[in-house]
Structures are given as C-alpha cells and as structure tokens.
Amino acid sequence: MANLHVRNLDAELVNRLKVRAAENGRSIEAEHREILRRALDDARGLSFEEVSARLRAATAGRKHTPSEVLVREGREDR
C-alpha cells in the first residue's frame, strides 16, 4: 500500500473532515480514503451522457451564460 501526504490544507477543511469522519464512525484517515475512493470510482466508466447529466444536476438552478455569448465575447477580446 502507498502513502499519500496532503499538505497546506485549510484549517476549516480539516475541521469539516473531522466532523464528517465522526458522523460516519471512521477515523480521519479512513474518511479521507473513502472520499478519494468515491470520487475516483464515481467518474470511472461513465459515458459522456452520464457525466453530462451529473453536471446538469449539479448546476441546476445556477445562472448559465449561453455559449454563443461566450464565443462572441472571446472574438471581441481579440
């Protein structure tokens, strides 16, 4: 097994990890492993359509800029 050391974490992030670990009855290290495992497993083997659906669900209700507006702005910046 390999070891992974993460440095320079924000104190608030570490506190949130501690709380989450306690809520799940795990050590901080075990919680960290579970978060990494889930994050990497979730993205593996998904089709473009599945990834797109997840992205749409995650950004639902947020303001979106239409692509044609972004393209126009990019052209104007040249």
From first to last of the 78 residues of the chain, give the pLDDT tens digit. 889 899 999 999 999 999 999 999 999 999 999 999 888 876 677 888 988 998 899 999 998 899 999 999 999 888
- According to the model, what pLDDT value does residue 39 have? 84
Report domain extents, the chain: 1-61
Residue-wise burial string across 39-75, b where 16 or more C-beta atoms lie within 10 A, e elsewhere: eeeeeeeeeeeeeeeeeeeeeeeeeeeeeeeeeeeee
The pTM score is 0.54
- According to the model, what pLDDT value does residue 43 have? 66
